[in-house]
Each structure stands twice: as structure tokens, then as C-alpha cells.
Amino acid sequence: MPSTPDSRPVVVLGAAGFIGHALAKRLAARGFAVRAVTRDAAGFAAPIEACAAGTLGRGTDWRGVLRDARAVIHLASRAHAPPGDADWFAAERATAAAIAAAAAAVGVERTILLSSIKVLGETTASRPFSAASVSDPRDAYGRAKLAIEEAMRRSAPGLVVIRPPLVYGPGVKGNFRALLRLIARGVPLPLAAIHNRRAFVFRENLIALIETVLTHPAAPAGTFLLRDDAEIGTPQVVREIARRLGRPARLFPVAPRLLRLAAAMVGRGDAAGRLIDSLAIDDDETRTRLGWRPPHSLAEGLDVTCRWFADAEGVRPGGSRL
């Protein structure tokens, strides 16, 4: 719960998304006044204040969106280039700067940006990423997130930045949901020879950290890393998901160098790297500074996610579908 009653809203930008929708509802349930900002204000009801702002950009009336707010959480950045849009990078950076400037102008107490661990790079070898790691983004997503961080810091010196790894949970999309589907369908996967460590974060753990930095006296500014309690190798991820879906883990060995070569030939080298390479995170500074621990284990997060997926996709143990 918030430490003291406060009727001023927490503004959630990007509240219709996988993280934003769950975050807005969780904060409201925990007693925060919430203003959920989306394109068309659909999907929310009282006590959440729904705010339709159209397509968010540098020309949005940010002072109006942030009026009387105690905090703003920016989840709305689009860090993938839309087809045919050569100016997307500059537009995202300008939008972020406008949000931070408006927040400072209207007296918002805490500005929070959800960034990405990819700001630090794609892989770890001898040591995990930590709060001391130097930024080294390797793809457009990571570079865009870093540019957004820098743009907001220039306008809001008190910025709080959270850099999560891959976020999973009920409603997850993208590569994680694609993997769930492959396992549920019993597709053989050439991943048995991979030996790596990957950090993930369950959405509810991420939301718990956002709630913490909203009110914690040690987090008026700073950059925070996080992960679930355990890191896990790619073959183990497959085995854990398969067990929860009642499927056999159909893994067979192929040398990682051959996997990289094959993936590069079809333009999927980056995707192969995320399966083969390690990405480890040391979040001790976050835990020490904020007294925070992930409230849910990796096992609990996978339990919830796989139950949701089985219900959503009609998956029955043993290979049949509803």
C-alpha cells in the first residue's frame, strides 16, 4: 500500500499493453489513484481513471495528461521501427524528452521509465550485468532504449530507470509465447547441446518493483536491475515448460556453432543468440538499496504462465487439444 493516503494519480503511459494493463489494475487494487493513458481509453473502469490520448508523441498535450499527478510511469515507447518509418528513432526520443519536461514543469514527484537490460548488451560471459556495467547496446531496440533514457534524464534529473530482462506472464506475446506453442505442439527442438544461463522476470515481480520505487525514499532517482530468483538454461526452460504442459521435452543436440550458422543463413542470427548465449544479471544493488526481493519464484511464475497458456490455447496433457 502507499505509505500515506494520496489522491493524486499515478499516470501509467501505455496502460493497454502486456505490462501496463496489469500494472494499472494492481496499483488500483493496492490503493493508488491511477490514471491509465491509452489511445482510446478502452479496458478500464472505476476506480481507474481512463484517459484517451490518441497516438502518443511529441505533440501530445503532456501537461494535460500529467495534470495533478504524483508520479508518471512511461511504458509507451515503441522501440521497434515500424515499416517504412525512417524517423521512428528520433520521434521516440523527442516524445520521451517531452514527457520528462512536462513532468518536471507540473511538479510530478517521481518519473519512472521502463527500459531494458539490452541497454547493457546482448550477452554476458565471465560476469553478469550489474549496476556498474557500461551501456553497450547491440541492436536497434537497445539503442532506442538508451536514447530514451538519455533524453529523459536531460529533462528530468530525478528519473528512475528500471532495466528488466525478458518479461513473461499470462498474456505474454512474442518469442516466449512462440516457444510455448512449439513445446505444446511437440515440435522437436535442437537445443539439447546448449549450456547457458538466462535471466527472466515474471511480470508480477516487475510490478512489485515498480510499486516499490513509487514510494521508497531511497528511489527518487537511479537505475535498477532485476530478475527472478533463479537463472535458467535454455534446455531447462523447455523441460520446465513441457512438464507443466504435460508434454515430453523433445530436445536433440546440435552444436551451437551450427545452430548459429543455420540461423544466420535465414536472417535469424539474433534470435539464435538469445537461445544459445548467456544473459546473467546481478541485481544485488537493487535488493540492498530498496530492501526488495521478488515476491514470486521463477517456478511460481512458470506455473501461472503455463496454466494461462493451457487455458487460452486449449492444451490438454498428453498432446490433445480441447
Question: Does the residue 47 lie in any domain?
Answer: yes
Instruction: Provide the residue type at 98 as one letter.
Output: A
Question: Does the residue 84 lie in any domain?
Answer: yes
Question: Does the residue 59 lie in any domain?
Answer: yes
Q: Outline where 67-173 has alpha helix (H).
A: 88-106, 140-155
What is the domain range of residue 43? 10-163
Mean pLDDT lowest among 126-130, 132-136, 264-268, 293-297? 264-268
CATH number reported for the structural domain that contains residue 29 in this entry? 3.40.50.720
Average pLDDT, the chain: 91
Question: Does the residue 121 lie in any domain?
Answer: yes
CB-neighbour burial class of residue 35 (10 A; exposed 0-12, middle 13-18, buried 19+): buried
pLDDT of residue 54: 78
For residue 6, pLDDT beyond 90: no
Please give the share of the chain, as a percent, with pLDDT higher than 90: 75
**Residue 120: which pLDDT band, with cuts at 50, 70 and 90?**
very high
Question: Does the residue 173 lie in any domain?
Answer: no
Question: Does the residue 46 lie in any domain?
Answer: yes
Q: Give the tens place of pLDDT for each residue, 122-162.
A: 999 889 999 999 999 988 889 999 999 999 999 887 899 99
Burial 286-317 (b: 16+ CB within 10 A, else e): bbeebebebebebebbbebbbeebbeeeebee
Cβ-defined contacts of 253-257 (< 8 Å, 24+): 253/190, 253/192, 253/193, 254/190, 254/191, 254/192, 254/193, 255/193, 256/193, 256/194
Give CA–CA dist 212/48, Å, rounded. Answer: 20
Question: Does the residue 141 lie in any domain?
Answer: yes
Question: Does the residue 196 lie in any domain?
Answer: no
Average pLDDT over residues 51-60: 84
Please state the pTM of the whole predicted model. Answer: 0.94
**Residue 81: which pLDDT band, with cuts at 50, 70 and 90?**
low
Give CA–CA dist 290/53, Å, rounded. Answer: 33
Instruction: Provide the residue type at 21 as one letter.
Output: H
Give how many domains the chain has, as a whole number: 1
pLDDT of residue 1: 44
